[in-house]
Structure 1
Amino acid sequence: MLIPASSTEYLHVPVTAPEGVDLSGAPVRIAVVAHRDNPATGEWRTAAWDGDEVVLLIGPGTGLVLTRGDYRVWVTVDPPGAENITRHAGHLGVT
């Protein structure tokens, strides 16, 4: 995905649950980082479900303003039970 730094819009991250598992009520967070390490605790932002996608409003006027550069997008879902699933979800370019 490629967006301009001046844009305020929702970042959409598709999430596919295992068959028979309903994640719609599970807490979910997104991290958008400019480094190659796993996100640090303070880099995670509370996100929301929109169907089978996780969304987070980013850009000017939000809690996550990004400058020009290349970013890695991560998502973490905390379903009921022992698992807390974290995945690298893709890349975001900001121009």
Structure 2
Amino acid sequence: MIIPATSTEYLHIPVTVPTGIDTGSTPVRAAVVAHRANPDDDEWHTAAWVGSEVRILIGPGTDIELAAGDYRVWVSIDPPGSENVVRKSGVLSVS
């Protein structure tokens, strides 16, 4: 996906929801980072489920303001129990 740096919009992230996960009650976070490593704790932001997608507001005036460049998009799903599922979900280009 390519968006301009001046746009404030929801980033919709498709997710293959693991079996047994109730998206209505399972917390989800997203990270949009310029580096190739796993996101640091302070780079994760609360996101929301919309069906089997995760959405998070990005752009000017949000917690995730992005300059021009390429970013890796990550999702963290925290179901009850010992699992915390983390997935790299794609690349976002900002122009």
Normalised to the residue count of structure 2, the TM-score between the two structures is: 0.94
Shift of residue 80, structure 1, vs aligned partner: 1.2
| Residues 7-26 of structure 1 aligned to structure 2 (within 5 Å) | 7-26=7-26
RMSD of equivalent CA atoms: 1.1
Residues in 1 aligned to 2:22 and 2:71: alpha-carbon distance in whole angstroms:
29
Deviations 1:51-92 (A, max 9, x none): 111100000111111000000000000011110000000000
Q: Identity of paired residues, percent?
A: 63
Q: 1:19 offset after TM fit, Å?
A: 3.8
The 2-side partners of 1:52 and 1:91 are apart by: 19
Unaligned runs of 5+ in 1: none
Aligned to 1:77: 77
> Which residue does 1:86 correspond to in 2?
86
Provide structure 2 residue ranges, at least 5 long, that are not aligned to the other structure. Answer: none
Residue 44 (structure 1) aligns with: 44
Aligned residue pairs total 95
How does the TM-score come out when normalised to structure 1?
A: 0.94
Q: Which amino acid letter does the alignment assign opposite residue 78 of structure 2?
A: D
